[in-house]
A and B are shown apart, each in its own frame.
Chain A
């Protein structure tokens, strides 16, 4: 299960990312928007978990809370036993925003390496703590190899201005993997890509993830994408943002194009859609008032 229904303060847990009773309200008085209300979420280490829901249901807000970019008004967040602040101070969070957020004056390769030069002390400590090479470390630890695996081997020296949208987003993903973080947070990274590019990039992401097995929290509004990529799909509902259902995806890995058409995949998609619709109709009556 990806959610817990236990109450009480978050117990530091070294094997899970825990969000407990998290609430977040923007603005005050008449104009207040409750972006999140009482959200509980638990992501076991090494799992690929997607968060899906309609626009405005608080997916990005949830991700920002986990990334430590914002503090929850109520509840708390723990990342493998540490607070979000401690986790980012230790460089254990990789963040891929919706737009690629590359530095236009650096080459693709330098964009992937630029975070090495930031907060060096935490980087050194992470390398010491890692000790003997973990599986997948070799790939993630080598930016050139990583970029090559993501199909950017020929573009290492190009500037972001010369790249297509898909190439930019793959560069941003490579930058996040290169940190060798404990958790990767991705906010609709493929939503701006055309369908062909998106499918290609999804499979490349799976390919790299399969080797690194980094814990991933992935925000999307595409059911197909969520099912293809994830072990677990968390369905959110809006107003206020909350978790409506959790669907386990029992598809085998590694997943390939063939899976896009399998019956199991269709069954999973069907279930996620049904949960989304249910969450949506729960909201409708209030919308009509």
Chain B
């Protein structure tokens, strides 16, 4: 009897706790500031749009665009997302592999680093048209631009992370004559992961910028939100331009959420993931 009582009491407490947690976002103190800020932005937007329709389209017109042609925007968003993700994966993997290689060979580091730095200070936007000339209007030049943008942050952070193993840990491994491969796999790479994720948080949203820039440069491209924007703005279709921009912002947010979720899983041990209690 008393067992049942404590069970119901415990269940009741848990239910209340869950409800309270779920209800938190419903409390005005929680959502009101956000809503007020959004409403204020919408009002300012509307005022500017009404005074000067060639600067901003009416919000309603943008909404109409998205709701009447969802397929059109989805298709172009998918094309841009594909370019961004392919470039992201290719650029990150190449950067990670090169970081490992230069952390293992100082000879290679001295040979490669000057090239990498030159590549980094060269504005990728300036290379994009040349890539289009070389590789045409397909996915490849866009993939290359995105990969180039991704490459440098991932390379530098991974290289730093691979060097971040504390000296005493290395000493413990050296006293048992651990091989270089063991030090790499069991110490350097796990230690580098927080640094890799810090870079990924930056380059995930940047990859979309890369894809858009490449689409802008490929004047004859038929797909992608960047193409939609450049075609629509040359036709003064501001509502279409801003509908595409809204899609891009949404994609950026989704990518950031993705990388954050991945980080939570992979880096559960790291202090950056400690939840405030």
> Which residues of A pack against B, CB within 8 Å?
64, 67-69, 88-89, 91, 93-95, 97-99, 101-105, 114-115, 117-119, 122, 159, 161, 175, 179, 185
Shortest beta-carbon distance, B166 to chain A, in Å? Answer: 6
Structural contact, B175 and A93, CB atoms closer than 8 A? yes
The CA-CA distance from A169 to B176 in the complex, in Å, is 19
Structural contact, B178 and A118, CB atoms closer than 8 A? yes
Shortest beta-carbon distance, A120 to chain B, in Å? Answer: 9
Q: Which residues of A contact B172 (CB under 8 A)?
A: 95, 97, 101, 115, 175
* Contact among A98, A102, A114 with B186 in the assembled complex (CB-CB below 8 Å): A114
Instruction: Offer 18 A-B interface pairs, CB within 8 angstroms, sorted by A.
Output: A64-B171, A67-B171, A88-B175, A88-B176, A93-B175, A95-B171, A97-B168, A103-B187, A104-B270, A115-B172, A115-B176, A117-B186, A118-B173, A118-B179, A118-B186, A119-B179, A122-B177, A175-B172
Structural contact, B175 and A67, CB atoms closer than 8 A? yes
* Contact among A88, A98, A105, A161 with B177 in the assembled complex (CB-CB below 8 Å): A88
The CA-CA distance from A94 to B173 in the complex, in Å, is 10
> Which residues of B pack against A, CB within 8 Å?
166, 168-169, 171-179, 182, 186-187, 190, 269-271, 274
Q: Which residues of A contact B270 (CB under 8 A)?
A: 104-105
Most A C-beta atoms less than 10 A away, residue of B172, B182, B270, B274 = B172
Kindly list the 7 A-B residue pairs having the minimum CB-CB distance in the complex, ordered from nearest.
A97-B168, A101-B168, A95-B175, A118-B178, A105-B269, A101-B169, A89-B177
Instruction: Give 16 new A-B contacts, CB below 8 A, not counting A89-B177, A118-B182, A175-B172.
Output: A68-B175, A69-B174, A95-B172, A95-B175, A101-B171, A102-B169, A103-B186, A104-B269, A114-B186, A115-B173, A119-B178, A119-B182, A122-B177, A159-B269, A161-B274, A185-B175
Instruction: Name the prevailing secondary structure of the B interface residues.
Output: helix
The CA-CA distance from A151 to B182 in the complex, in Å, is 30
Structural contact, A93 and B186, CB atoms closer than 8 A? no
Instruction: Across the interface, name the chain B residue whose C-beta is closest to A93.
Output: B175
Structural contact, A119 and B169, CB atoms closer than 8 A? no
The CA-CA distance from A107 to B169 in the complex, in Å, is 16
Instruction: Across the interface, name the chain A residue whose C-beta is closest to B174.
Output: A69
Instruction: Across the interface, name the chain B residue whose C-beta is closest to A86.
Output: B177
Structural contact, A98 and B269, CB atoms closer than 8 A? no
The CA-CA distance from A183 to B131 in the complex, in Å, is 62
Shortest beta-carbon distance, B187 to chain A, in Å? Answer: 7
* Contact among B169, B177, B274 with A91 in the assembled complex (CB-CB below 8 Å): B177
* Given known A-B contacts A103-B190, A104-B269, A105-B269, A179 and B171 have beta carbons under 8 A apart: no
The CA-CA distance from A185 to B175 in the complex, in Å, is 10
Q: Which residues of A contact B190 (CB under 8 A)?
A: 103, 105
Structural contact, A97 and B171, CB atoms closer than 8 A? yes
Q: Which residues of A contact B166 (CB under 8 A)?
A: 99, 101
Structural contact, B186 and A91, CB atoms closer than 8 A? no
* Contact among A98, A101, A104, A179 with B176 in the assembled complex (CB-CB below 8 Å): A179
* Given known A-B contacts A105-B190, A105-B269, A98 and B175 have beta carbons under 8 A apart: no
* Contact among B171, B178, B271 with A69 in the assembled complex (CB-CB below 8 Å): B171
Most B C-beta atoms less than 10 A away, residue of A93, A95, A99 = A95
The CA-CA distance from A88 to B176 in the complex, in Å, is 5
Structural contact, A118 and B175, CB atoms closer than 8 A? no
* Contact among B177, B269, B271, B274 with A119 in the assembled complex (CB-CB below 8 Å): B177
Q: Which residues of B contact A101 (CB under 8 A)?
A: 166, 168-169, 171-172
Shortest beta-carbon distance, A137 to chain B, in Å? Answer: 18
* Contact among A94, A103, A161 with B271 in the assembled complex (CB-CB below 8 Å): A161
Q: Which residues of B contact A64 (CB under 8 A)?
A: 171
Shortest beta-carbon distance, B262 to chain A, in Å? Answer: 15
The CA-CA distance from A69 to B172 in the complex, in Å, is 9
Q: Which residues of B contact A88 (CB under 8 A)?
A: 174-177
Q: Which residues of B contact A97 (CB under 8 A)?
A: 168, 171-172
Q: Which residues of A contact B271 (CB under 8 A)?
A: 161
Q: Which residues of B contact A115 (CB under 8 A)?
A: 172-173, 176
Shortest beta-carbon distance, B183 to chain A, in Å? Answer: 9
* Contact among A69, A99, A159 with B175 in the assembled complex (CB-CB below 8 Å): A69
Instruction: Across the interface, name the chain B residue whose C-beta is closest to A90.
Output: B177
Shortest beta-carbon distance, B249 to chain A, in Å? Answer: 35
The CA-CA distance from A119 to B172 in the complex, in Å, is 13
Most B C-beta atoms less than 10 A away, residue of A98, A101, A114 = A101
Structural contact, B269 and A118, CB atoms closer than 8 A? no
Q: Which residues of A contact B274 (CB under 8 A)?
A: 161
Q: Which residues of B contact A103 (CB under 8 A)?
A: 169, 186-187, 190
Q: Which residues of A contact B169 (CB under 8 A)?
A: 101-103
Structural contact, A91 and B171, CB atoms closer than 8 A? no
Q: Which residues of B contact A122 (CB under 8 A)?
A: 176-177
Structural contact, A93 and B269, CB atoms closer than 8 A? no
